[in-house]
Structure 1
């Protein structure tokens, strides 16, 4: 993503350069304990005197205390857990290996979003913690061997192996790869012919939603080209076709996968009796607003644990402009309830992805109850306030870019546009 390498992150780490996260597969020697402790001491100021024993053997504090610290680190964030395990071998021994967990929900980087290349090589990218504003650098050699298809809300990368058309999920923090079925049977005839002529098929595949369902035991992918909502488990030989209708968006929420199109909001249902997954309507949109299948679009948002829907439409004021209305998805009542805000948060929205961030707290330059739009979603305005309908005009690019510019760029596009 050109031009964003100098983005200023308005957060508690704004003064720090993005840090490189330790490779979980290359542990640091135990001698690093002292440097970690000294570094922590420089960054923290205590109001009380602490008697620190200079000869304490921190590497051998015991599996009990070290295991408790590991649990607290993991409860905070998987990145903190990886840093903890990188200190020494005894600390790694008392904590589960995140690289052996597959799609273990404990080790998913749910708070992290990939921004762009960090100008330190073709494989290095910056990742932003959307909750705290912390920014880190990660070296991902896997990107040189795969085609990037999409980013998942769980922080994973959906990849394609061109020679075999096998799909994989990469955890960028643990570097764990999970194999999924190939997309061979899903391709259109034109895509098969292009592949026979030597074309890179990954550049023609578009994903409008992807996520984990059923306690991370299944993966759902909403392809817009080739069209189809499919699902599979790791180890399956092929994808199960669920629905071939066009879906505006797809999003994992509370362990289930939701889709939105002209009919409303639907959920992917699974059963224990080996029946194939299917879609079930949970909120009809026809009673809430008029929808044009040619001009409008629907966008699902996980707003800090609340499922919401944004209706993007052409305004009726005589000008060619977009309007945006937000709704809370009431799953119990099966209705869409109009909303005039995002509970003090802000939403960054592209055509196929959306993220919700805490406005003002971690990002002082971000206005609450506003939608910030990717260029693929709206080229006329930068933001739209849900509460009063006011618009924020596009601002001419300046350098270094702000966090708003950075997130608006990274939320747009699919496939090669992400990298």
Structure 2
């Protein structure tokens, strides 16, 4: 589900006409979603489904194209304090157990993170006990829910005790730990049926005068090998990879010819509120970088490019 043109965040949540993009074919359709009259979009999952919440906390999982819906327990029993119409919390959502359960994840609170799951027909959400590790980026992959800590890729294990004893378990060790002080970020993404990780780094470099007054950004791509528990260097297989705070996405430049192959796209907001953003690219093969679509106004020119649309989508 995209934003763009007249479908800006300012029109949400009561604008019921939304635009959806098929990233495999490039086809774009507009869909009326009557539920948005009295529901907010709690989160759009990586599977293309919408997680909607009503004012009283009732939660509905909706396929916006087929109109199929499933009712989930209300979130009133969880401490998602920002979850109401017009807000976007929790931080991420996905499907596990071959699509039978929905997982919600929320972080950035003093008392720690919340990770909960439920399936249609349940009376309440089940909290995952081991939530001390902050998951910096999460994704649903092959029926399971994964997240990244400072040194590992973690998975939500829902197999024990019918899910009541769900816990976080290590799925793979990172090749290089994330260094918070250096503004490192890690992003999980599916490429050609494989779970991959993009590790973005920013390091101080010496300027012409010998002082550390400049920054260099680099990206490395790893395959998360779930069989060996290791993350090993990998190729992007000709994809364009969009990374953001809430989700990441790999698309084929054969479908979107304006995009570059084997390239990581990321948006950066300017320091001054309302001054717009720029899209930074990193070419994985030669380490080259570019900055484009620099907007001096928060009102972006229309129509948006596909790079604008996808960077806005992954940022959530």
TM-score, normalization: structure 1? 0.63
Structure 1, residues 214-254: CA drift from partner, whole Å, max 9, x if none?
A: 12111111112563121112122221211433211111111
Equivalent in the alignment of 1:324: 219
Q: CA deviation at 1:395?
A: 2.5
Q: CA deviation at 1:205?
A: 5.2
Q: CA deviation at 1:343?
A: 0.4
Q: 1:407 aligns with which of 301, 306, 310?
A: 310
Q: Does residue 230 of structure 1 match 2:124?
A: no
Q: CA deviation at 1:362?
A: 0.9
Find the residue that maps to 1:409 and give its secondary structure: helix
Q: CA deviation at 1:209?
A: 2.6
Say if 1:321 and 1:182 are closer, same or farther in 2 by CA, change over 3 A.
farther
Q: Does residue 206 of structure 1 match 2:89?
A: yes
Say if 1:201 and 1:123 are closer, same or farther in 2 by CA, change over 3 A.
closer
Structure 1, residues 8-28: CA drift from partner, whole Å, max 9, x if none?
A: xxxxxxxxxxxxxxxxxxxxx
Question: Rg: which structure is higher?
Answer: 1
Is residue 115–residue 125 contact of structure 1 (8 Å, CA) maintained in 2? Answer: no
Is residue 151–residue 178 contact of structure 2 (8 Å, CA) maintained in 1? Answer: no
Distance 2:216 2:131 in 1: 30
Structure 1, residues 331-377: CA drift from partner, whole Å, max 9, x if none?
A: 111111123x3101111111111111111x11111111111113469
Q: Which has the higher contact order (CA 8 A, sep 6+)?
A: 1
Find the residue that maps to 1:313 and give its secondary structure: strand
Q: CA deviation at 1:324?
A: 2.3
Is residue 3–residue 312 contact of structure 2 (8 Å, CA) maintained in 1? Answer: no
Q: 1:283 aligns with which of 172, 193, 205?
A: 172
1:19-418 matches, cutoff 5 A: 122-163=15-56, 165-187=57-79, 191=81, 201-203=84-86, 206-224=89-107, 227-242=113-128, 243-245=130-132, 246-271=134-159, 273-274=161-162, 275-285=164-174, 288-294=175-181, 295-317=183-205, 318=212, 319-320=214-215, 322-339=217-234, 341-359=235-253, 361-375=254-268, 381-397=279-295, 398-413=301-316
Distance 2:315 2:240 in 1: 16
Is residue 205–residue 225 contact of structure 1 (8 Å, CA) maintained in 2? Answer: no
Distance 1:382 1:251 in 2: 23
Q: CA deviation at 1:411?
A: 2.2
Structure 1 segments (4+ residues) deviating >4 Å: 114-119, 202-205, 376-381
Distance 1:167 1:376 in 2: 32
Gaps (5+ residues) in structure 2?
A: 206-211, 272-276, 296-300
Distance 1:171 1:356 in 2: 22
Q: Of Structure 1 and Structure 2, which has the larger fraction of its residues in helix?
A: 1
Find the residue that maps to 2:20 and give its secondary structure: strand
RMSD: 3.0
Q: CA deviation at 1:273?
A: 4.1
Equivalent in the alignment of 1:107: none
Distance 2:50 2:238 in 1: 29
Distance 2:255 2:117 in 1: 36
Is residue 346–residue 358 contact of structure 1 (8 Å, CA) maintained in 2? Answer: yes
Distance 1:128 1:270 in 2: 32
Q: Of Structure 1 and Structure 2, which has the larger fraction of its residues in strand?
A: 2
Q: CA deviation at 1:207?
A: 2.9
Say if 1:181 and 1:322 are closer, same or farther in 2 by CA, change over 3 A.
farther
Find the residue that maps to 1:374 and give its secondary structure: strand
Equivalent in the alignment of 2:209: none
